[in-house]
Each structure stands twice: as C-alpha cells, then as structure tokens.
C-alpha cells in the first residue's frame, strides 16, 4: 500500500548550507531573546568587574558562536542592541545608588555610559531599529549627568570625583 521512499544522500557541505539557511530564515524568532541574553550577560560582567563584555566573551558565556558560518550565533546588531539596553539599566542603577547612599557608583556609571556613547557615535548607523535605540542613549547619558551634577552641587562628591 505504501511505498518505501528513500531520501537521496546529501553531501555534508550541502546539509550544513541548508541548515544555515534555515537558521538565517527564522532568526527573527529569537532575535529579542538573544538581545535580552546579551544584555543580561553584559550586566553581570559590568556589575562584577565594571567593564564591557566583548561580543566573543558574551557568545562564549551563552554557548553560541559569533560567526554565521559556525551555526547559531550572535549577530552584531543583536549584541549592540543588548549593550544599548544595558545603558538604560545602568542609568537607573545610578539613581538608585544615590538613594542607597553610594555616591561613587553614579560617577563610574556616568563615565562608562559616556564612553559607550562615544563609541556608538563612531558607528555609521542607518535609519533602522538600532539607530532609533541609539538615539535613546543620549537620554541615558543626560540622566546620568544630571545625577552627577546634583551630587557635585550638593557637595557629596569630592574634587577627585569620589563619593564621600
């Protein structure tokens, strides 16, 4: 009744190419999740070591690759979007640190976000979702600068830039 149908034998490179095409075709399904994981990984690295996690380091932490040819990977756009999400959280952390009485943390966060802003300004971003999110970075920078300004005006930060 049913005929047994055997699939043709594919060569290994052809199978890999077809799998990569499938990954590329459906990558939008996990784009937001990847960006969120990059953000969380970068946040953990910043909170522990007060530095930016590289794309390679983030990929290694998540157990994925950075190159498309190697399979499931972190796109550069997803990495950058995750880093931009990090800046929003750090600007909130700066305000909360002042409330908790930690006056040196907002200075470090402000310096870090300023450096990120300088780095993003070097990129030639097209008019897409990454550019729109980058435009929001200036509000994060402004928020941190306002916190540092208030600390300075109130005399809670000494001349060396350290909280008292």
Binding residues for Mg(2+): 89
SS3 call for 122: coil
Distance CA 100, CA 98 (A): 5
SS (H, E, C) 43-80: HHHHHHHCCCCCHHHHHHHHCCECCHHHCCECCHHHHH
66 close to 15: Cβ distance less than 8 angstroms: no
Residue 68 contacts residue 77 (beta carbons within 8 Å): no
Give the dihedral of Cα atoms 107, 84, 135, 137; nearest 10 deg: -10
Q: Which residues are annotated as a binding site?
A: 89
């Amino acid at each position: 009744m049913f005929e047994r149908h055997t699939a043709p034998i594919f060569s290994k490179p052809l199978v890999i190419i077809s799998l990569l095409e499938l990954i590329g075709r459906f990558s939008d399904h996990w784009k937001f999740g990847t960006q969120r994981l990059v953000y969380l990984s970068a946040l953990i690295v910043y909170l522990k070591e007060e530095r930016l996690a590289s794309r390679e380091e983030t990929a290694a932490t998540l157990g994925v690759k950075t190159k498309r040819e190697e399979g499931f990977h972190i796109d550069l756009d997803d990495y950058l979007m995750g880093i931009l999400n990090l800046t929003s959280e750090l600007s909130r952390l700066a305000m909360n640190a002042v409330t908790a009485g930690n006056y040196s943390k907002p200075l470090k966060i402000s310096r870090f976000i300023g450096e990120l802003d300088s780095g993003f300004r070097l990129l030639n971003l097209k008019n897409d979702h990454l550019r729109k999110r980058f435009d929001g970075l200036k509000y994060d920078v402004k928020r941190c600068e306002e916190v540092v300004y208030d600390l300075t005006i109130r005399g809670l930060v000494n001349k060396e830039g350290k909280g008292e």
